[in-house]
Structure 1
Amino acid sequence: MSLETLKIVPLGGLGEFGMNCMAVQWKDDIVVIDAGLMFPEDDMLGVNIVVPDISFLTENREKVRGILLTHGHEDHIGGLPWILSELNVPVYGTEFTLTLVEGKLEEHKLLDDADLIEMLPGSSFELGPFRVSPLRVTHSLVDCVALAIRTPVGTIVHTGDFKIDLSSPDGHPFDLQSFAELGKEGVLLLMQDSTNVDRPGFTPGELAVLPRLDEIFARTERRLFFTCFSSSIHRIKLAMDLAHKHGRKVALIGRSMDNATEIAQDLGYIDPPPGLLIHSGQLKDMPPEKVCVLISGTQGEPMSALSRAAVDNHKHARIEAGDTVVFSSRVIPGNEKPIYNVIDHLYRRKARVIHDDGRSGLIHVSGHASQEELRLMINLLRPKYFIPVHGDYRHLTQHVEVAVGTGIPQQAMLVEDGEVIELTAGSMSKTGKVATGRVLIDSGSATEAVEEMIIRDRKHLSEGGLVLAIITIDKMTGRQQGAPEIVTRGFAVNEQAMATELRQTIAHTIESSSIEERRDWMLIKEKVRSDLKRQIQKSTGRRPMIMPVILEI
């Protein structure tokens, strides 16, 4: 690879949703954009989170100058504990983003060694040969930025997650002017969020939910339970404003809801009127028509506050007949079953549930740009080259078509994780591939990877069950002492008949082995495993995990 080109190396987020991470390299200097995670798929048993393989960064650790964060969602900051445990470099983010990062790093005992540096929208700073300019964008979270990075070959722009909202509830609208000025200055490469590329038109602004929510607050006669993503600070603020307007006190229930609201209050994004917030313990003493409960658990998480309240198992959140529960959020693909389980339980409590009632008006809006906003951004920046980011292969493909359709980029390229893009002032090309992939982090940890073999074993156990054969052998003679003990788990057969059959198989295996073989317990264990596997498959057609245990006496 030429040393006189700018290299773009995506390590995650191109070809999947989540795990966003991208390296930008000029000679001996690398900056990283975002450090996200993705949540495990159903077959990743016992896995807590999935993070990108950062072999490329660890192999070039002396060149990495820092990590730039576009915003504070988990798919952009959730992999930081893993990455910083391997590669302790400065982390740059806006005030709200870094506050979320601090809590995450403190939880994993990494905060004391972390170097967190605040960046301000509109204020540029130097990082090696790069000049970084954060630009204010709007999203479903507050304090989000796109990144304009001036490099020796030209300016590249990474949008992060965005939509164009000119009436954001926090008073910080999308900075159209700065993007237009950047376009006049000249943009070499635009890397743009592909999440909603399959949606025509414009994404509604956050205030678009206000009329319908106002109607719900006005018409609700008893308790109102309101659930949304705890990171949706705009939505939480709107709910508080409406509660105040309609004479309701607000109780916060759920750790994530409580933490996010506390941070937003500390940083001035939420400023509830005096006396609006009450402790959850006061709910039982309040008239039902005078309370609004902001509760976490919008995705039906099993131990969330809403899930427990739905089965009448929460200390303070009691949902009764006639209460209203509003889901002001989207269903994340894969979460349909737990969400509808919670909704079923709410109906059993005779609650009124509003999640997607088909009536006029919106109770939730997306935080990502639709097709017309994507085209508007391209028209503002007028980039020479274009790469779609953040999405499955189908989203990236469609996004290339949208970009080409504007007639502006000279070249639009579909890129996947690991592909190395070399960029000069007059060319863009793929020149190689680096190692990428998914690192599976075990439950209860953010820094301990799980080997693929362990996941295979867990899957094998979940599908086939376990057969444990405990065999006692005389160390001197190599003969069995007593009948083997057979233990089965998750293996539905006639246990007594199967145990008899397996004991006979073990006896035959040992008796047919030479004295020398019997004295080598590692060898005899493998022979027993092989013979038991053959016998079980012949008798039942099943393939459980088989574990012979040899006890020598």
Structure 2
Amino acid sequence: MRENNTNNLEFNSELNNEKGNKKYNKKAYKPRKENNNGEKVVNTKKIIKNDKDENKVVKSRKGNGSILDLPTFKKSNLKIIALGGLDEIGKNITIFEYEDEIVLVDCGLEFPDDDMLGVDIVIPDVTYLVRNKNKIKGLFVTHGHEDHIGAIPYILKQVTMPIYTTRLTAKLIEHKLEEHRLLRTTELNIVEQGQTINVGKISVEFIRSSHSIPDACMLAIHTPAGVVVHTGDFKVDYTPIDGQIIDFARLAELGTNGVLALLSDSTNSERKGYTLSEKSIGPVFDSLFEGCKKRIVVATFASNVHRVQQIVNSAVKFGRKIAVSGRSMINMINSARELNYIDAPDNLFIDIDNIKNYTDEQLVIMTTGSQGETMSALTRMAHGEHRKVNLTGNDLVIISATPIPGNEKSVSRVINQLMKIGCEVVYSSLADVHVSGHACQEEQKLILSLVKPKYFLPVHGEFRQLMAHRETAIEMGIDKNNVFITSNGRVLEVNENEAKFTTSVPSGKVMVDGLGVGDVGSVVLRDRQHLSQDGLIVIVMSMDGQTGEFVSGPDVISRGFVYVRESENLMEDVKSFIKEEIDSMVERHIRDWSTIKSTLKDDVRDFIFNKTKRNPMILPIIMEV
């Protein structure tokens, strides 16, 4: 995909508008307001439409932190159902169902596997939600990463529901809704950290968390059956860029009062120790920028706003301007600047078209493509296909990310290509230019010790990661019979006395290819795989509709099988074989089209395999004249 000049111009104007023209201050976050008693004052803003139910939003804290004015109900089992995010990376979505009420946590996408040819993204199967759409009270979103918000527009086309989340996450969702023309018809509510939303028998409390994107939250789901804590993605960072540390006091308070179940991020559950603080990256950037005479290109995740802030800090410190390439990076920085989550001096950001007006040592180019994506800005730069940026031996390229599982080869190819054109490349194997946004074992232990759940469900990870998290929980004293390794679609019913698996609901992968949602399945993927491996042979013939005799053909068309000009003898042999088969069927008075097609397909496939040891797809076409 080529870059759009309009996007770049829009980016430049937005970043340097009145909201952006402020004195540079490393503290990019505004302090929270407090009342005379020192309590936080929190408000909910409905940015799409107002909700007339005044009882829907309640404060979660007063004095000792108890939940106020929540109604009491006769206790039933709470159902916990993951429709995605288990034994996979991505597609996170979890159902919490109590009697006739359902709340959802997150609704993300997954990137396709290598064998999903032509598939753009993968989203969860929400058949169960469609069947129970009248029960759904709301979607509660923990943070703004694609694996937690990317499927929202696709699901809203099947099921309507209000959405509740924090400011930056809401802004990112708003962009998606606008792109899919759903903004006017969707209720999108901004919630402050520390606030509780009451939707009936279920209330959901937003708890301040720490991750690689601002405004991340854990959720405490209050039900008559008990309290369930969902960590979302988290790490324990005592020196976060935004100064927002996990609300340990609230987690401890919940743990003291009693938590029925904990669902916790398992991404780094195999790693011992602690995840490094995001702030540890700052000095590394400074050391790379200091004294560097080359132009600096930094590739990172567009959503890692804290990383972007540190790149901004180093650019300011060493007198460099920043140009941005990649639509997702441009959109993210625009949104973060608008909400005051990135702090930068006046006119720091320049349009990518204007980089020619600056020397190499005056520039930083911030770009997408840290995962080696085929059409990303960095990949196009590496192959000389970028319209605005031409990389040379006078460029230092910093890849500030580690490959997501499955992307290792793609990232390696890009690094090799960058080196072939003479760039100096720094990546995680050579310098500490990346830290994870997910908790390692000691951090997971801390959350377990604070929350003290009766039941524990490792989530957000592949099976081996879920199992490692299970062992950590048992080590922390949780009864092994109360630790549940579940799978997508499996229903776990819990109450204060027992937890058990009962049944399963539809779950799986829905593939999105262009504008088509769900019209690509296993059969289509198998055909695409077949075509990609051995190609296609099309056999075209004409048949007299009255006599049943073949009047022309066969014509044989090959695509992706052999180069016809160099394999004329083989193609002539194929034609001769087809003619013999047709003559044989005529002699046997076989005139049924489906029989003729099936016979030709099988016999020609066997003939070609014996000749070439290849197995192309055979497609017979018979036209009636």
| TM-score, L = length of structure 2 | 0.84
Shift of 1:465: 1.5
What is the aligned counterpart of 2:372 among 290, 293, 300? 300
Counterpart position of 2:108:
36
* Separation of aligned partners in 2, 1:543 and 1:312: 36
2:236 is matched by which residue type in structure 1? I
Counterpart position of 1:261:
333
Map Cα deviations across residues 372-427 of structure 1 (whole Å, 9 max, x no partner): 01000011111111110011111111111100111145721211112211101121
Equivalent position SS for 2:97 = strand
Stretch deviating more after TM superposition (213-222 or 387-396):
213-222
8 Å contact 2:511–2:517 — kept in the other structure? no
2:580 is matched by which residue type in structure 1? H
Counterpart position of 1:441:
512
Cα separation, partners in 2 of 1:3 and 1:154, compared to 1, 3 Å: closer
Map Cα deviations across residues 438-474 of structure 1 (whole Å, 9 max, x no partner): 11111x2373441221111111111221111111112
Count of aligned pairs: 549
1:3-42 superposed matches below 5 A: 4-42=76-114
* Separation of aligned partners in 1, 2:75 and 2:580: 67
* Separation of aligned partners in 2, 1:45 and 1:417: 24
Shift of 1:304: 1.9
Question: Is 1:484 equivalent to 2:554 in the alignment?
Answer: yes
Question: Is 1:107 equivalent to 2:179 in the alignment?
Answer: yes
* Separation of aligned partners in 1, 2:181 and 2:457: 37
* Separation of aligned partners in 1, 2:610 and 2:383: 46
Question: Is 1:97 equivalent to 2:169 in the alignment?
Answer: yes
1:374-413 superposed matches below 5 A: 374-408=444-478, 411-413=482-484
Cα separation, partners in 2 of 1:475 and 1:495, compared to 1, 3 Å: farther
Question: Is 1:527 equivalent to 2:527 in the alignment?
Answer: no
2:557 is matched by which residue type in structure 1? V
Structure 1, gaps ≥5 residues long: none
8 Å contact 1:475–1:519 — kept in the other structure? no
CA RMSD of aligned residues (A): 2.1
Equivalent position SS for 2:450 = helix
Equivalent position SS for 2:195 = coil
What is the aligned counterpart of 2:398 among 326, 329, 332? 326
* Separation of aligned partners in 1, 2:579 and 2:386: 56
Map Cα deviations across residues 184-226 of structure 1 (whole Å, 9 max, x no partner): 2211101110000111111111101112111111131221112
Equivalent position SS for 2:575 = helix
* Separation of aligned partners in 1, 2:493 and 2:102: 14
1:113-262 superposed matches below 5 A: 113-262=185-334
* Separation of aligned partners in 2, 1:157 and 1:273: 40
What is the aligned counterpart of 2:487 among 416, 428, 435? 416
8 Å contact 2:402–2:428 — kept in the other structure? no
* Separation of aligned partners in 1, 2:516 and 2:260: 37
8 Å contact 1:505–1:531 — kept in the other structure? no
Shift of 1:515: 8.4
* Separation of aligned partners in 2, 1:312 and 1:468: 37
Question: Is 1:336 equivalent to 2:408 in the alignment?
Answer: yes
Equivalent position SS for 1:399 = helix
Stretch deviating more after TM superposition (534-543 or 79-88):
534-543
8 Å contact 1:509–1:528 — kept in the other structure? yes
* Separation of aligned partners in 1, 2:568 and 2:294: 59
1:72 is matched by which residue type in structure 2? G
* Separation of aligned partners in 1, 2:504 and 2:589: 49
Shift of 1:5: 0.8
Cα separation, partners in 2 of 1:3 and 1:179, compared to 1, 3 Å: closer
Map Cα deviations across residues 238-281 of structure 1 (whole Å, 9 max, x no partner): 11111111111222222121111110000000121113222222
* Separation of aligned partners in 1, 2:590 and 2:572: 22
Stretch deviating more after TM superposition (294-303 or 462-471):
294-303
* Separation of aligned partners in 2, 1:4 and 1:182: 21
* Separation of aligned partners in 2, 1:236 and 1:369: 21
Question: Is 1:466 equivalent to 2:559 in the alignment?
Answer: no
Shift of 1:505: 3.3
What is the aligned counterpart of 1:428 among 499, 507, 513? 499
Question: Is 1:63 equivalent to 2:124 in the alignment?
Answer: no
* Separation of aligned partners in 2, 1:55 and 1:232: 33
2:499 is matched by which residue type in structure 1? M
Question: Is 1:317 equivalent to 2:317 in the alignment?
Answer: no
* Separation of aligned partners in 2, 1:328 and 1:257: 14
8 Å contact 1:195–1:390 — kept in the other structure? yes
Equivalent position SS for 1:30 = strand
What is the aligned counterpart of 1:507 among 567, 570, 579? 579
8 Å contact 1:81–1:447 — kept in the other structure? no
Cα separation, partners in 2 of 1:428 and 1:541, compared to 1, 3 Å: same
8 Å contact 2:78–2:97 — kept in the other structure? yes
* Separation of aligned partners in 2, 1:139 and 1:467: 52
Stretch deviating more after TM superposition (7-16 or 536-545):
536-545
Counterpart position of 1:456:
526
* Separation of aligned partners in 2, 1:324 and 1:512: 69
Counterpart position of 2:124:
52
- Structure 1's consecutive aligned runs of 4 or more residues displaced over 4 angstroms after TM superposition are 514-519
* Separation of aligned partners in 2, 1:348 and 1:504: 49
8 Å contact 1:81–1:446 — kept in the other structure? no
Equivalent position SS for 1:384 = strand
1:288 is matched by which residue type in structure 2? D
Cα separation, partners in 2 of 1:408 and 1:540, compared to 1, 3 Å: closer
* Separation of aligned partners in 1, 2:166 and 2:390: 38
Equivalent position SS for 1:422 = strand
8 Å contact 1:301–1:307 — kept in the other structure? yes
Shift of 1:302: 2.4
Shift of 1:435: 2.2
Counterpart position of 2:65:
none
* Separation of aligned partners in 2, 1:235 and 1:246: 17
Equivalent position SS for 1:112 = helix
Map Cα deviations across residues 470-498 of structure 1 (whole Å, 9 max, x no partner): 11112222112233101111223874333
Stretch deviating more after TM superposition (495-504 or 136-145):
495-504
| TM-score, L = length of structure 1 | 0.95
* Separation of aligned partners in 1, 2:486 and 2:180: 33
Counterpart position of 1:288:
360
2:385 is matched by which residue type in structure 1? N
Equivalent position SS for 1:440 = strand
